Structure 1
Amino acid sequence: MDDLDRRIRVAVVDDDTVIREGLPHLLPDLHVTAAVSSVEELLAAPPEADVILLDLVLTGTGRTGVRQGAAAVEAVARAGFRTLIYTNERRREVLVGCVAAGAHGVVHKAEPLATLASAVAEVAAGRVVITQALVGLAELAERRGGLASLTPRQREILSARARGETFRSIAERLFISKKTAEEHMAVVTAKFADFLRDHSPADLEWELGLGPGDLLDRRPMS
């Protein structure tokens, strides 16, 4: 087996040209088998890869209609790949949601390249990696945090309230009573009482990554 065959095979999914073209030169001990700007491109021609290095935000160039965040992680996991998130994102609830969607690790882009290379090796070996730059994420992931305790209906009503929709309007649209809508929001408020003491529902929605087009938004792509 030659040196090329012994290297870990990595496919890079990132909308940043510098990342796609630079990593093969910066990490020569890895064998970059593909470097694409979207999950759609990756899945259209699946590469030979031990690890997919995946950015979470893939619409930075203004593109629409591409999967990102948890939806991208899920798609890659369903295709049978191990995924290592490589991101600038620091919202812990968002990262936990993406780990829950099937990612095997998280590395922040501010970390040294040696940390990234080590994390790739760990994920390739079947282990889960969360690096020191994201202290506390492992503990939050273990107990699944507040995000996992929100039901789909609670998320829906939080999103509506974040847009300024009245409880009466929410109730009519969802075919529930106004009292039921208020009760769902009361549960959300109780779960995030400390945060909502100084922040709005829109702030909470953003912190949880649930806003339109955000990383845990499950709305259909346009």
Structure 2
Amino acid sequence: MRDRRGRDPGAQPGTRVAVVDDDTVIREGLPHLLPGVRVVLAVSSVEELLAARPETDAVLLDLVLTGTGRTGVRQGAAAVEAVARAGHRTLIYTNERRREVLVGCMAAGARGVVHKAEPLAALAAAVAEVAADRVVITQALVGLAELAERRGGLPSLTPRQREILSARARGEAFRSIAERLFIGKKTAEEHMAVVTAKFADFLRDHSPADLERELGLGPGDLLDHRRLN
């Protein structure tokens, strides 16, 4: 069975990724720019993704899917929730930077956030992390940890765990973190594994409404699951 580009997915190695983005350049360009990634489907709406039912290791999802003036399509947290419920590990790929929106989308089931201004190497690394069922830690999630901890919404992080979390969110390598903090590289990685597990447990066990209450946030344009446009 061939994908929409006429290729045989079974004949190609690599992480299987579906791209949902209303930008033609993103849909057409990413398959040529990400080493080790096999784009099995590239569509402009969540509805097309759900209808195609591709086998994926990760879904790369933009949050705003009405750039061509379309209405009645799912986007934001509603899109994330639909993709996650269909059983796909979801990585948000967006220009959106509002923390309340990104936090809400993580609570809806996304496994991480990558901004479109970041280097392609960061995107490729994030895809690999999500495909391995790990949470991609970003500055948005550091903000989530700070807010939720103050309200008791997340298990507490130790000072060392917070240091390593913030450093990884800025893209600092484990070797550099270890040297700066005078600890072993393996120790730094183990601290990060504990942090990732705490995030994963929290995001898996709490609903968007729970998270909004914990953080004191109200519904927003992309945060509200009940809206489709």
Q: TM-score range, shorter-chain basis?
A: 0.5 to 0.7
What is the aligned residue count?
A: 162
1:80-99 map, 5 Å: 80-99=87-106
- Residue type at the aligned position of 1:85: I
CA distance in 2, matches of 1:110, 1:52: 19
CA distance in 2, matches of 1:4, 1:106: 30
Once the two structures are aligned, what percentage of the paired residues are identical? 71
Which runs of 5 or more structure 1 residues have no equivalent in the other structure?
A: 152-190, 193-207
**Counterpart position of 1:172:** none
- Following superposition, the deviation at residue 64 of structure 1 comes to 0.3
SS at 2:110 equivalent? coil
SS at 1:129 equivalent? coil
TM-score (norm 2): 0.63
Which runs of 5 or more structure 2 residues have no equivalent in the other structure?
A: 1-9, 155-209
CA distance in 1, matches of 2:143, 2:84: 20
**Counterpart position of 2:81:** 74
Compare relative contact order (CA 8 Å, sep 6+) and give the higher one, 1 or 2. Answer: 2
**Counterpart position of 1:29:** 36
- Following superposition, the deviation at residue 29 of structure 1 comes to 2.0
1:1-222 map, 5 Å: 5-131=12-138, 134=140, 136-140=142-146, 142-143=148-149, 148-149=212-213, 210=220, 214-221=221-228
4+ residue runs over 4 A deviation? 140-147
- For the aligned residue pairs, the C-alpha RMSD in angstroms reads 2.7
SS at 1:21 equivalent? helix
Contact 1:89 1:108 in 2 (8 A): yes
| Larger radius of gyration between Structure 1 and Structure 2 | 1
CA distance in 2, matches of 1:109, 1:6: 25
TM-score (norm 1): 0.65
SS at 2:113 equivalent? strand
